[in-house]
Copies of this chain bind each other. A is one copy, B any other.
Amino acid sequence: MTRLAEMETLNGGSTLAAPAHGGGIDAARRAFPDAPAPWLDLSTGVYPRAYPLPAFAPEALTRLPDASAFEAAEAAAARAYGAPPGFDVVAGAGAQAFINLLPRVFPARRVATLGFCYAEHAARWRAAGAIVTIAASLEDLAAMDVAIVVNPNNPDGAATAPQNLLRLARRLRARGGLLIVDEAFADFTPERCIEPLLAEEIETAENIVVLRSFGKAYGLAGLRLGFALCAPPRAARLRAAQGPWSVSGPALAVGTQALADADWLAESKNLAAQSARRLDALLAEAGFGLVGGTNLFRLVESVHAARSFARLCAAGILTRRFDERPSWLRFGLPAEPRDFERLSRALGVRIDV
């Protein structure tokens, strides 16, 4: 493979018709062997300061995780996400595990995502035989068998008011349709989450599945923990499809403790907001136009995006590019002042960090 062809496959390309993702530092290292190590990975939306690992009993590693370990993590998630009674919580090995499962457990024909979003949704429904389109509005989504809204959206951060999602869910429900709300990046904006609204309208919740990611906001993406929230009959089907021991003992133990720690989340929310503002200033200075984002990643555009991506790779900094939107680049948050300095230098800008 030529250097250029290899670069093309770097997190923008795809193999086996599987979507590309951020996080492919190993491929970047091979394509840019002369880049200074260690690489700075800004290609994902994972919070760069991990939740400090609590101590957990050795049994979390040595024994099969039992029902009480699942129940504890699911109860902590229900409280953290404000899920009302009657809206069940199912733990899985990351939100991705449920994105894999949903088309199999709730098969449907006509599926649409709201706008251009996280590619795995469309890929998994297509693999299951569905016709997947991109809807431009909630109005268009209302005509589907399954409507998928990533909220806030990845990669552009577009936010949909939860009241509007509830209205959409009501319309879908009248036709037997299902609304999937992927709140993988919603931990720092609970006021825009749909779960608390369902307390007043638990019947509508029958046709809603909400996905949550633990690893992103808590900076522990390697643990693999996520949740699906839905009405009990759907939860039972998801549990049965997952089979036993679908989440590791450490993930359940750490998730149970971290999700109960509101102080840490509040502090991280502030730190992430500061980092996002600093990153915006730096990227503006470098000539990028802000498209949008969340406080876990920023999306910018430039006619020189491809060149900037390569230049950053040569400096050992991996960002996220998009085959479908060649002028876009997505940046995760740098963790430390020295990471901001490194990014500034690589982009050739001076900025107070």
Q: Report A's interface with B, CB cutoff 8 A.
A: 16-18, 21-27, 41, 44, 46, 48, 50, 53, 58-68, 93-94, 96-97, 99-100, 104, 120, 124, 127, 215, 219-224, 236, 239-251
Which chain B residue has the least Cβ–Cβ distance from A252? B222
Of all A-B residue pairs in the complex, the 5 with the closest CB atoms, nearest first, are A222-B249, A26-B68, A23-B64, A224-B248, A61-B222
Which residues on the B side are within 8 Å of A62 (C-beta)? 46, 48, 50, 219-222
Which chain B residue has the least Cβ–Cβ distance from A219? B62
Which residues on the B side are within 8 Å of A236 (C-beta)? 16
Which residues on the B side are within 8 Å of A64 (C-beta)? 21-23, 44, 46, 215, 221-222
Given contacts A244-B21, A251-B248, whether A222 and B16 have CB atoms under 8 Å apart is no
What are 24 of the A-B contact pairs (CB < 8 Å)?
A17-B240, A21-B64, A21-B244, A24-B66, A26-B66, A27-B67, A44-B64, A46-B62, A53-B61, A59-B222, A60-B222, A62-B219, A62-B220, A62-B221, A63-B222, A64-B222, A65-B222, A93-B224, A100-B243, A120-B243, A222-B249, A222-B250, A224-B246, A248-B250
Query: A99 contacts which of B23, B221, B241, B243 (Cβ < 8 Å)?
Result: B243
Most chain B CB neighbours (cut-off 10 Å) among A27, A68, A236: A68
Which residues on the B side are within 8 Å of A24 (C-beta)? 66-67
Which chain B residue has the least Cβ–Cβ distance from A94? B245
Which residues on the B side are within 8 Å of A242 (C-beta)? 100
Which residues on the B side are within 8 Å of A99 (C-beta)? 243
Which residues on the B side are within 8 Å of A127 (C-beta)? 240
Query: A41 contacts which of B21, B61, B63, B68 (Cβ < 8 Å)?
Result: B63
